[in-house]
Structure 1
Amino acid sequence: MVAKPVKPTERIRVNQREAELMAAAHAWFVARKPGGRRLVLRFAIMEDVDLSGRDLSDADLTGSTLIRCKFDRARLVRACLFGADLQASSFVGASLANADMRGARLKGANLAHANMTQADLRAGRIAISDEDTQFAVLRHKVSAGQMDGANVSGAVLHQTRLDDVSAAAADFSDCSMRGAKLVGANLKNARLRGAVIDNVDVRGANLESADFSDAVLTRVDLTQARTMGAVMDRCLCDPDAEASARAAQIFVKLAAHREWVTSGGKSGEAAVLDGEDLRPMVEMAGAFLTAVSARNACLAGMDLRRISLQGALLEGADFRGADLRDADLRGANLNGATLKQADLRRAQLSALPFKADREKPTELTEACLRYADLREVGFGETDLSRADLEGARRTELQDGPDSAGPDPKVLEL
């Protein structure tokens, strides 16, 4: 894409009031109401403007200077920010899914908790005028995405294009990065503590002195990147050979457990999987594991959709980045469990009735649910007062079930 050049005399300045009027008209455009007008503001200057919470989906802000602007919790789905100068701007909790951000400058920007799924931050080529010849000659400038020092903590970066991006000393702590492209990117001295990084292409990337402490780092070939000085303390990597070798034994245990449950304890045997790395068990979706014991087990990143874990003993279990959509966790003991960045949409975490007048509550004391997706979760009367819910998502936005950004505040139920 090559943006159309304009002369400096054509660059308009937009103040707060004008920006609000244009955003309001754009919201009507998005809603397909009469009088609506798409926001097309190319190569404009709009500094220190606050458009937090606005719906700017499909807006065109190509090449604009948007320094120190606030777009917190705004919807910028499919927005065109090609070549925009977004330095020191704030996008906390914003949805930037599928946004075109090629060549954008994001130095010092705050993208904490933002949803950047499938956003494109690769280098962009833009046509600019030659001032010495009074715009008689055009030249093309290739600008790499710039995120040096940006705050991207807790953000969702699934399938995001970050090829050749410069993000030196940027903060990606606790972000979820799946299927992203970091080919040739510069993340030297970046902070990725606690991040969930899966199936990411890092060929030619500079990860020198990057901090991966407490991160989940799976299906990532670090031999293709520069990693001198990288910190990998307590980093969870791919299952080792021993865990893979135990998969057959665990499968037998799970089959016996299912028989034990369905027979009411008359046959089979209750499974005890405490401390096991269950990730080699790839077929766990829909499993029937009522009352299983899996204390301190590792289920990070697993597909656990529709799994039945009623009354299960899961204290200290690791569910980081796991897909628990539609799971039944009623009455489970999840004290101290880690569900950071887990997808729990439509899961059941209310009390489990087991007699006419008795029920077993779900326990979440000191459980970590940071940045988890809790939309449509059935909590019932479950006590969440001692759970860590920072950045947890609970609001369903209009752009569909898979693209809403997280609530940057602590979950309030």
Structure 2
Amino acid sequence: MPRIANVRLVLAALLMVAVTSVAARAQSMLDMVDLSSDQFTKAEMSRADIEAAIAKLPPGEKLDLFGKALNKLDLSGMDLRRVSLQAARLMGSDFSNANLEGVNLDSAWSLNSKWTGANLKGASLFGTQLVGANLDGADMTGARLAGDFSKASLKGAKLDGADLSADEKNQSMGLMRGTFRSADLTGASMKGANMRRVLIEYTTLTGADLTGASLAGSELGGSDFTGADVTGADFEGADVNSARISNMKNADKALNLDKAKNFDRAMRN
């Protein structure tokens, strides 16, 4: 068993190396994989198979679906708290209203998938690929979100206390952090979230709640903060070049906004 576990750790590490090396070269990670292959288009198990496997689990054990191809499955409404989905292929799958509290989704690929209303409290999404996914209304309270949410929709999502920050320990693998380029966080709640050095460029944050969030050193260029509540939010060293920071709620109560990078180039009128 230890040998199998070590092999899985190596495979997960290789997956993240592939992803982060692409990011380091400002290249799309999609160039690294063949999205038309069976691994990204087919499913090795059905919903019924997964339900049956969960039902047979001994008390205290989890169903390990490491690296499984589970593309385009309808897993909506399922209780998946006893399932590990590390490095799984979940392209186009539907997790609407599913319960994934505390689930390991590290290095999973889930482009253009559906997670509306899903419970992802305390889940781990490290190196997870969710480009173009729909996470409207999803609850990611306290989750680790160092994945790629570019072009994703997170309207009304809850990220209170979540950790989106850059991982300072794995610099040899590239900078792993939450990436929300061109995402939609309209009305999302990120109270007390750790967003240090996060990439949030050209993203909509209108009406979002950033109360007490740390945005120190983050890249916010071109993003729209209209109506966002920034009470106690820390902007020290954040790059606000071309960001719309006019009409933010309680802007006078934000921390270090005047110390933001390119403050003079932000849209303040």
Calculate the TM-score normalised by the size of structure 1: 0.43
The count of corresponding residues between Structure 1 and Structure 2 is 191
Unaligned runs of 5+ residues in structure 2 are 1-36, 166-176, 244-261
Match for 1:63: what amino acid?
G
Are the aligned partners of 1:70 and 1:90 in contact in 2 as well (CA < 8 Å)? yes
Higher helix share: 2
1:163 and 2:155 correspond: yes
1:216 and 2:219 correspond: yes
Tell me the residue number matched to 1:196: 199
Match for 2:214: what amino acid?
D
Alpha-carbon distance, 1:81 to partner: 0.9
Alpha-carbon distance, 1:68 to partner: 3.9
Match for 2:155: what amino acid?
D
Unaligned runs of 5+ residues in structure 1 are 1-26, 123-143, 241-276, 281-413
Are the aligned partners of 1:42 and 1:64 in contact in 2 as well (CA < 8 Å)? no
- Partners of 1:29 and 1:213 in 2: how far apart? 38
1:228 and 2:231 correspond: yes
- Partners of 1:235 and 1:31 in 2: how far apart? 39
Match for 1:146: what amino acid?
D
RMSD: 2.7
Instruction: Tell me: CA distance 1:203–1:63, structure 2 relative to 1, closer, same or farther (3 Å).
Output: same
Q: How does 1:30-45 map to 2 (within 5 A)?
A: 39-41=46-48, 44=51
Q: How does 1:225-374 map to 2 (within 5 A)?
A: 225-238=228-241
Instruction: Tell me: CA distance 1:113–1:164, structure 2 relative to 1, closer, same or farther (3 Å).
Output: same
Tell me the residue number matched to 1:82: 96
The superposition leaves residues 246-291 of structure 1 with CA deviations (integer Å, 9 ceiling, x where unpaired) of: xxxxxxxxxxxxxxxxxxxxxxxxxxxxxxx9xx9xxxxxxxxxxx
- Partners of 1:212 and 1:31 in 2: how far apart? 37
Tell me the residue number matched to 1:175: 178
Structure with larger Rg: 1
Match for 1:184: what amino acid?
G
Q: 1:72 pairs with 86, 90, 96, which one?
A: 86
Tell me the residue number matched to 1:411: none
The superposition leaves residues 194-241 of structure 1 with CA deviations (integer Å, 9 ceiling, x where unpaired) of: 11111111111101111111111111222320000001111112069x
Alpha-carbon distance, 1:28 to partner: 7.6
1:120 and 2:112 correspond: no
Between the aligned residues of both structures, percent identity stands at 27
Alpha-carbon distance, 1:60 to partner: 1.8
- Partners of 1:207 and 1:84 in 2: how far apart? 26
Match for 1:212: what amino acid?
L
Alpha-carbon distance, 1:29 to partner: 9.6
Instruction: Tell me: CA distance 1:232–1:50, structure 2 relative to 1, closer, same or farther (3 Å).
Output: same
The superposition leaves residues 149-169 of structure 1 with CA deviations (integer Å, 9 ceiling, x where unpaired) of: 00002x111111100011100
- Partners of 1:158 and 1:179 in 2: how far apart? 6
Q: 1:110 pairs with 120, 124, 129, which one?
A: 124
Alpha-carbon distance, 1:44 to partner: 4.3
Alpha-carbon distance, 1:80 to partner: 1.1
Instruction: Tell me: CA distance 1:28–1:208, structure 2 relative to 1, closer, same or farther (3 Å).
Output: closer
Tell me the residue number matched to 1:53: 67
Match for 1:145: what amino acid?
A
Tell me the residue number matched to 1:147: 140
- Partners of 1:227 and 1:84 in 2: how far apart? 31
Higher strand share: 1
Instruction: Tell me: CA distance 1:239–1:221, structure 2 relative to 1, closer, same or farther (3 Å).
Output: closer
Are the aligned partners of 2:97 and 2:119 in contact in 1 as well (CA < 8 Å)? yes
Match for 2:151: what amino acid?
Q
Q: Describe the SS at the equivalent of 1:178.
A: coil
Alpha-carbon distance, 1:97 to partner: 0.9
- Partners of 1:118 and 1:190 in 2: how far apart? 22
- Partners of 1:97 and 1:178 in 2: how far apart? 14
- Partners of 2:156 and 2:50 in 1: how far apart? 24
Are the aligned partners of 2:41 and 2:91 in contact in 1 as well (CA < 8 Å)? no
Instruction: Tell me: CA distance 1:40–1:224, structure 2 relative to 1, closer, same or farther (3 Å).
Output: same
Tell me the residue number matched to 2:108: 94
Match for 1:231: what amino acid?
D
Calculate the TM-score normalised by the size of structure 2: 0.65
Q: Describe the SS at the equivalent of 2:180.
A: strand
- Partners of 2:158 and 2:96 in 1: how far apart? 16
Are the aligned partners of 2:41 and 2:72 in contact in 1 as well (CA < 8 Å)? no
Q: Describe the SS at the equivalent of 2:46.
A: coil
Instruction: Tell me: CA distance 1:236–1:150, structure 2 relative to 1, closer, same or farther (3 Å).
Output: same
Instruction: Tell me: CA distance 1:205–1:64, structure 2 relative to 1, closer, same or farther (3 Å).
Output: same
Match for 1:220: what amino acid?
S
